[in-house]
Structure 1
Amino acid sequence: MTAPATQSGEADLVQVSLSALEHYAYCPRQCGLILLEDAFTDDAATVRGTLLHQRVDTPGNRGRGDVRTLHALPVWHDGYGLTGICDTVEVHADGRILPVEHKSGRYHPGGPAEVQAAAQAICLEEMFHRPVPEAAIYSAADRRRHSVTVDDALRSRVLELTDAVRSLLTTDRLPSPVADSRCRRCSMATGCMPRLLAGTHRYRQALTDLYLLDDLQDSDA
């Protein structure tokens, strides 16, 4: 598994939110628009997600049989510079800890939601000092849970994406548009303008001019 990227100590790490990992895994440009330009556009799917989380994100501690359920639990990992909130965390009588991420849409095996759920498990391991080898994703679309094995490959993916998001935050450079099938499901496609910008000569020339301007400003400073 990839080691955490540290420079001169944990305190120097730029904090990365767990939700940003999912956005970047889906589309780096979408993540960049949200983090760098504070841009977000709702559509029917995102509104459904917001309403779902309003039902599950009320902080609290509830018991059901041998399971204690924590809602809207803040989590973090100082070594990796991760921070976020778990929708639901189940603490079982045998000591097993299970983060449950709630999604309004359908579950896609190997999709971005698995990255977010695995990152929650990694944070919970750090906080509770015990292994969390499994997470779950609850899909409101099919009304069932889907188990996610937090193996070494998924952990490495979480850390690689953490480094990528941190680089995005520190360089302030918006990733290029992708203009593929993901755009049809993205609420931000109108503002992103992927079909207009991706791969066109005008877009490439604009990027070149922008970076030349940045270099000239740096040399004059």
Structure 2
Amino acid sequence: MEAAGEPIPLSALQHAVYCLRQAALIHLERLWAENVFTAEGAVLHAVADKGGGRHARGVRRVMSLPLASRRLNLAGVADVVEFPRVGGQETPFPIEYKRGKPKLHRADEVQLCAQGLCLEEMTGAPVPQGALFYAATKRRVVVPFDADLRALTEAAAADLARVLASGETPPPTPLKARCRACSLHDLCRPEAVARPARAWRDRMVAAEVGPR
């Protein structure tokens, strides 16, 4: 597990928003399993992971840029950060590559926003937005880093920090669509683990309120 005080990986926030139990299985219990979704994601990141920088249409672009935030105790690597000039000053614009298409949940947005918060702390410049590039649509989705998303991102970082500090993996809260897509489904066994957890909770409640 991450040692006390050791920075939390930026990618772990995406796991935490998707499923806090998944994040704990990966970052506490060190469990991992590939499926078609994780394999596609690995291929997609291969180009960005080469690192380096270049100019495209007059905009400086840096690939595989290391990021960190002491305030939130986060660290990781941005796939790409563009530095367009706005009013004579470079404004960081993080871009995260994702497989598939835009999701109904906000896990991808939180991971991207966390990159923006790191860039603000590192550069001292405001980072008002970034973009998610989805392989299925081959389009950028611009994500404004508004107050709600910033609050959600900081809450996710705090929740995950508490789980890692506790050393305990949360019980599952099965969500059929997300569980089916999760590469850790067979290791997590949400249905099997959830049933005894619910039974234990029901016994505890019954003991408190007594027979009806």
Post-superposition offset of 1:15: 1.7
Q: Deviations over 1:136-185 (max 9, x none)?
A: 00000111000101011111111111111111111010111122221011
Sort the Cα spacing of 1:163 and 1:139 in 2 relative to 1 into closer, same or farther, 3 A: same
Aligned to 1:60: 52
- Cα separation, 2, equivalents of 1:203 and 1:173: 19
Q: TM-score, normalised by structure 2?
A: 0.87
Q: 2:162 aligns with which of 163, 167, 170?
A: 167
Task: Note if 1:28 corresponds to 2:20.
Answer: yes
- Cα separation, 1, equivalents of 2:65 and 2:100: 22
Kindly, what percent of the aligned residue pairs are identical?
A: 34
Q: TM-score, normalised by structure 1?
A: 0.83
Sort the Cα spacing of 1:23 and 1:63 in 2 relative to 1 into closer, same or farther, 3 A: same
Q: 2:152 aligns with which of 153, 157, 171?
A: 157
* Structure 1 outlier segments of 4+, above 4 Å: none
Aligned to 2:31: 39
RMSD: 1.8
- Cα separation, 1, equivalents of 2:158 and 2:197: 30
Q: Deviations over 1:3-43 (max 9, x none)?
A: xxxxxxxxx74421111110000001100100111101100
Gaps of 5+ in 1: 1-11, 209-221
Task: Note if 1:106 corresponds to 2:131.
Answer: no
Post-superposition offset of 1:204: 3.5
Post-superposition offset of 1:103: 0.2
Task: Note if 1:178 corresponds to 2:170.
Answer: no
Sort the Cα spacing of 1:138 and 1:112 in 2 relative to 1 into closer, same or farther, 3 A: same
- Cα separation, 1, equivalents of 2:83 and 2:190: 43
Aligned to 1:219: none
1:9-24 correspondence to structure 2 within 5 Å: 13-24=5-16
- Cα separation, 1, equivalents of 2:110 and 2:24: 17
Query: What amino acid maps onto 1:126 in structure 2?
Result: E
